[in-house]
Amino acid sequence: MGYANAYVTTLSAGITNSATTCTVASTTGIPALPFTATIAAEGTNTAETVLVTANSSGTLTITRAYELNAGNGASAHGSGATIAAVLTAGELTPISASALVTAYTTWR
């Protein structure tokens, strides 16, 4: 997974709940691929975590509802919605499990 501090931009155009690409206003500071991002809730839409797998001149290929936010699936998002790179619970869980195994085997 790629990581970068404070990569935040906006959608240049709205997306439907089944779109697999989105166009962003800026790719300055974009993390190495793949990376997770959250598209913020706006209006009646819900926040959504996506996996970004490709970038072609600001058009990002995304896997929708990559990690569920409070049980919410893919949602439509309007032009101007904020999209930001994030570190998710799903990415931290394997690290936590590995650390516990290491700690246990070291302690024994």
Q: What is the pLDDT of residues 4-58, one digit of tens each?
A: 899 999 999 999 999 999 999 999 999 999 999 999 988 777 889 999 999 999 9
Note the pTM of the prediction, 2 decimals: 0.84
Please compute Rg for the chain using Cα positions.
16
Amino acid at 95: I
Give the whole-angstrom CA distance, residue 32 versus residue 2.
4
Contacts of 25 (CB under 8 A, 6+ apart): 9, 10, 11, 12, 58
